[in-house]
Amino acid sequence: MITSVTAFAPATVANVAVGFDILGFALESVGDKVTLEKNLKSKEVNILSIKGLEGLPLDPQKNTATIGLLKMIADLELPYGFNVKIEKGIPISSGMGGSAASSVAAITAANEFLEKPLNRTELLIYALEGEKAASGAIHADNVAPSLFGGLTLIRSLEPIDIIEIPTPSLFCVLVHPDIKVETKYSRSVLKPEISMNKFIQQSTHLASFISGCFKNDLDLIKRSCIDFIIEEQRAHLIPGFYEVKKAAMDNSALACSISGSGPSLFALAKNEKEAAQIKDEMIKSFQNNGILKLDSWVSPINKNGSYIIERIKK
C-alpha cells in the first residue's frame, strides 16, 4: 500500500503574448513540490508544513494546493484524507503559475493513491479549483501546461478540450523582478472591450504563431509573437518594461513579453548560448531602472509536465 507520494509540477509562462488565457508552456528549471501522506483515520486534509515561502495559508480551504484535494475526496468518496507538505520553488505573485503548480503537484500526487487513476483531462478539473481561488476566474493557461507539459492551447473548458501544440527546440529566459503584482489586480486593470482592429491583429498573430510552431518556422514565430492587447495595459505595472523588452529583442530574442499576469518577463531564444546573453541584458536593463533584486532562469520548454518524484510503500 502506498503511504506517501511526492510530486513536482513546473512553473509556466501563460498567455505567451498572443494567447491571453488560452496559451501557456511549461519550464524545466523551477517548480513546486507537494508530498501527500495518506491519513486513514480521517477524510480531512491537513497542511503540516510549507517551505520556501512565508505567509501562505495553512487552512486547506484557502490554500491552492489543497482546495482541489478536498473536492477530489468529496467527488470520489475516498475513505481517507491527506496530510500535506508543500515546498514552494515559485515566488508568490510572480506571473509564473505558482498557484497552479501547487495545485497540479497535489492532484498529481493524489492520483497515485487511486485504485483507478484519472487521466490528465480528468485531473485538470480538480487542479483548476486552486487556480480559481487564486485569481478569481477559471482559466487553464497555467494549470494545463503544468499538468500536460509543452505548449498547450485551451480550446474550451466546458467541455475541457486541451490541444497540445508542437514546439521547436527553443529556450525560455524568465526574469522575475522582486516586486509583487497580484493576479486579481493585474486582471482588474484590463479593459472589458477592445477595438475590432486590435481583435483582427491579435487573431492573425495567434494563428500565425501556432502555424510557426507546427512548421518549425522560427522567423514566423518571431514575426507573430507580438501582443496588441494585454501588454500595453499591464506594462505600467513593471518598472522599465519597454527597456527590458528592447534589451531582449536587441540581443536576438524571438519574442519578449509579460509572463502571465507579471511582473516576470519571458523571452524566447533559439539556443542556450543566446538565451544566456539575453538573460544578462534583461537583468542589466532592470537594474538600470532601479530593480536590483531579481531571480532568473534559462530553461528549455518542458515537454513532460508534472511527475512523481517519490513513492513510499508500506
* Residues designated catalytic: 131, 183
Q: How far apart are CA 285 and CA 280, in angstroms?
A: 9
Q: Which grid cell sits at 213?
A: 510552431
Give one DSSP letter per residue of 184-199, joined into a string.
Answer: HHHHHTS-S---HHHH
314's CB contacts (< 8 A; 6+ apart) are: 1, 2, 3
Give helix then strand counts, H and E, for the chain. Answer: 10, 11
Q: Using alpha carbons, list the distances in angstroms from residue 15 to 3, 177, 269.
A: 37, 19, 17
Look up cell 518594461; give the residue.
Answer: 241
Residues forming beta bridges with residue 152, ordered by sequence position: 24, 164
Largest CA distance in the chain: 62
